[in-house]
Amino acid sequence: MNEQDIAAKGYAHAGALVSTQWLSEHLEDPAVRVLESDEDVLLYDMGHIPGSLKIDWHLDLNDPVQRDYVSREQFQELLRSLGISKTTTVIFYGDKNNWWATYALWVFKLFGFPDARILDGGRSKWEAEERDMTTDVPRVARSTYEAPERHDAKIRAFMRDVREHMDAGGRLIDVRSPDEFTGKKLHMPEYPQEGALRGGHIPGAKSVPWARAANPDGTFKPAGELRAIYEGEAGLSKGDEVVAYCRIGERSSHTWFVLTYLLGYDKVRNYDGSWTEWGNAVRAPIER
């Protein structure tokens, strides 16, 4: 697959994705920084795309004490240590259909980082094509990146926002598994069933499991197929204000990326408190 193949899929912002071929041709480009963000944080150490650096979603993106993301100062130091400047093109990739890669990109966008893209197909496609992997960790020169203040309002929803959105009949997309949506489970199958005292979903939410947006090889489905899912089945329209949620906000960042960049919705927020917050909150309304 190359950039023409991505363009042919009809996305609103096809430039938000790069192909494995494009990345292979830009591994030596000093204006490009490749970052791997995985659910399994040990994968990078077992082998990664040459020149790439690791983003540990536990340690690098989240505040160690308060449930929130890193501060402006912490984000600034992270990007300086990764050798990233405001003019750097950052390419994210990872395991499991780029689940955590889109999460990392979403956090970068909370700070307004301008040029952040996703490797279509992620780690699995790169490996399937038997492209180069290495265990060497590159050394990069520190940058002098100056981070702006974090701006949550446009792409992040808090619980009070979701309650107002729900009361107004706004569009809600629950991206968890069907069993989580119905309340049968509190987490995905094969994971510990923890994190919430109650199961179910936010009243009015439509169930669209996040991974439906991906093909078997990890690439994103064409825009026409995505519209059939989100508009034909879930009833969304491009002008809608949409809130996506999951259990802690990482799976829903994948759906946020799909709706925002691939389908061109401009009013999508990720509720990162998600079911861990909603399912534990006293008198938060729940449907099953």
Q: Residue 146: its pLDDT value, please?
A: 98
List Cα–Cα distances, 32 to 18, 80, 88, in angstroms: 12, 14, 6
Domains of the chain, start order: 3-128 (3.40.250.10), 159-278 (3.40.250.10)
pLDDT in tens, 36-67: 999 998 999 999 999 999 999 989 999 999 99
In angstroms, rounded to a whole number, what is the distance separating the alpha carbons of residues 20 and 250?
A: 23
Residue 214, pLDDT score: 98
The single residue of 119, 172, 186, 246 carrying the catalytic annotation is 246
Task: Give the residue from 26, 27, 31, 3 showing the smallest Cα distance to 15.
Answer: 3
CA gap 90, 99 in Å, rounded: 17
What are 115's two structure tokens?
Answer: 């040029």
- Binned at pLDDT 50, 70 and 90, residue 3 comes out as confident
Question: Residue 39 has what pLDDT?
Answer: 92
Give the number of other Cβ atoms within 10 Å of residue 152's Cβ.
16
**Rounded distance, CA 40 to CA 219, Å?**
19
pLDDT tens string 108-144: 999 999 999 999 999 999 999 999 999 999 999 999 9
Average pLDDT on 168-174 reads: 98
Percentage of residues in the chain having pLDDT higher than 90 = 93
What is the predicted pLDDT for the residue at 195?
79
Structural contact between residues 122 and 257, judged by C-beta atoms closer than 8 angstroms? no
In 3D, which of 81, 104, 97 has the Cα closest to residue 35?
Answer: 104
> Which pLDDT band holds residue 189 (cuts at 50, 70, 90)?
confident
Task: Read off the pLDDT of residues 195-235 as tens digits, 9 standing for 90 and up.
Answer: 799 999 999 999 999 999 999 999 999 999 999 999 999 99
Average pLDDT of every residue of the chain:
96
Q: pTM here?
A: 0.97
Q: What per-residue confidence (pLDDT) applies to 1?
A: 66
**Regarding predicted confidence, which is higher, 193 or 146?**
146
Per-residue pLDDT tens over the stretch 20-31? 999 999 999 999
* Single-letter residue type at 225: E
Beta bridge partners of 281: none
90 catalytically annotated = no
